[in-house]
Structure 1
Amino acid sequence: MSEQLGLRERKKRETRQRISDIAMGLFMTRGFDNVTVAEVARVADVSVNTVFNYFKTKEDLFLDRQEWYEDEPSRIVRERRPGESVIAALRRDFLDAIEQRHWRSGLQEGMEVFIRTINESPALTARMRELAERREARFAETLADETDADDDDIRPALVAAQISAVTRTLAAIGMRRKMAGETFEQIASDVRAQAELAFDLLEKGIGDYGVR
């Protein structure tokens, strides 16, 4: 019985992944708004009902890893090293992302096609804003748990907002330059320097910034 259940679950995962991969290929090639769920189902050789059994909405087909995305900053904080601060952990992770050319640094190959597809679709743009808000809210909850903050302590929400703004801004800088046609080698050192500056501001505070 356990073997049958295991086989059934594996087939479900494989079907879900196949549908997701096919949908993403169609979206990237033709644009999100130009592809219907019925087309995805036809190419994947499944029914439309099967698609919706795995994905509640068309946007979920495109954003198949949204749960991972929402939890990413929280995970980094939960897994930070002994004696390591929240800022130090996020700084280390972002610098690692630059070296690995990971999508969270904005420097992954092909990421510009993904971003262009989002920018061309009002529905996806709206969903990404929603995801960013949920990600920041979850991050604030994690910070509150990790620091045993009181319910009326504003610091977890403030820290989450500031860190989220920094990582979002840094990734956008790298992505804009990639979309302009620059190579990783042309961009990486500048983004790394800007990341160090940004996290220095977070770490040391911005109280004396802009003094006249």
Structure 2
Amino acid sequence: MYQAVSDAAIALFLEKGFEKVPVAEVAAAADISKPTLFRYFPTKEDLVLHRFADHLDEAARVVAARPAKRSPLDALQRHFLDGLERQDPVTGLCDNVHVLAFHRLLYGTPSLVARLYGYQERSEKALGDALSGTRGDGAPDGDALAARLAAGQIIAVQRILALENWRRIDAGETAEAVWPDAVVAANRAFGQLRSGLTHYA
């Protein structure tokens, strides 16, 4: 039901524009009542951002499922690079016409961008919880604030890398052409996470 209603809504938003489609029209297209729609999706923006729902705790899951000898940062870097390799839309490196149309809808609608930040904040919280309790050596670490700060930096790095990839593809470059630079940028960004902000200190 979630997927069907979200797909119907996104089709309408792509055709007419997010602001020009009332929720009642989405409900009618999905053949459900407006109150039922709001039981599934608390806000109109959630109809679009449902596509990110399974990514909310993705970074946390990567950290939790990593091999015992792999550090959280190494696991997250490998996961991001794997996403670039398979042109996962979450990395921004995807030139599929439907994905491009969706990203233009998303980044071109201020209320969706604002709501997306809320999703990213929840991702930070989940990742912070996963990082809290482990250090690079696996020993206990009671500093939950340090874990939240690290999570915020990691999620921000992933967001900025993805946005830069999408901007280049939206400007007309292919995913294949952008991929080598995207890999270099990702490795550099994760390297900066490892070394801290010494360059700016």
> CA 1:81 to 1:49, structure 2 compared with 1: closer, same or farther past 3 Å?
same
With normalisation by structure 2, the TM-score equals: 0.87
Aligned partner of 2:193 in structure 1 is 202
Find the aligned partners of 1:174 and 1:202 in 2 and give their Cα distance. 19
Alignment of 1:51-90 (within 5 A): 51-90=37-76
The answer to whether 1:157 aligns with 2:109 is: no
8 Å contact from structure 1 (residues 78, 146) kept in 2 = no
Percent same amino acid among aligned pairs? 39
Over 3 Å counting, the alpha-carbon distance change for 1:146 and 1:33 in structure 2 is farther
Unaligned runs of 5+ in 1: 1-14
Runs of at least 4 residues off by over 6 Å: none
Contact map agreement 1:136 1:161 (CA 8 A) in 2: yes
- Whether 1:135 and 2:123 are equivalent positions in the alignment is yes
Q: Counterparts of 2:13 and 2:116 in 1: how far apart (Å)?
A: 16
Larger deviation, residues 180-189 vs 29-38: 29-38
Alpha-carbon distance in structure 2 between the residues aligned to 1:73 and 1:80: 11
Tell me the alpha carbon deviations over residues 121-178 of structure 1, each in whole angstroms, 9 at most, x when there is no partner: 232121112222222122112211445432x553212211221221111111101101
TM-score by length of 1: 0.83
Count matched residues: 195
Q: In structure 2, give the amino acid aligned to 1:187.
A: V
* 1:59-92 deviations in Å (ceiling 9; x for gaps): 1211114432221111111111120001100110
- Measured on the aligned residues, the alpha-carbon RMSD in Å equals 1.9
Asked if structure 2 preserves the Cα contact closer than 8 Å seen for 1:140 and 1:157, the reply is: yes
2:43 & 2:102 partners in 1: Cα distance? 18
For residues 89 and 120 of structure 1, the distance between their equivalents in structure 2, rounded to whole angstroms, comes to 32
For each residue in 1:82-132, what CA deviation from the matched residue of structure 2 results, as whole angstroms up to 9, or x when unmatched? 200011001100110011100121012233322221233232121112222
Contact 2:128–2:144 (CA under 8 A) maintained in structure 1 = no
- Residue-by-residue CA offset, 1:20-42 (whole Å, 9 max, x unaligned): 21111111222211111111122
Q: Structure 1 residue 205: deviation in Å?
A: 3.6
Equivalent residue for 1:37, pick from 12, 19, 23: 23
In 2, Cα distance between equivalents of 1:177 and 1:115: 12
Gaps of 5+ in 2: none
Structure possessing the higher radius of gyration over alpha carbons: 1
- Residues 66 and 145 from structure 1, CA distance in 2 versus in 1: closer, same or farther, beyond 3 angstroms? farther
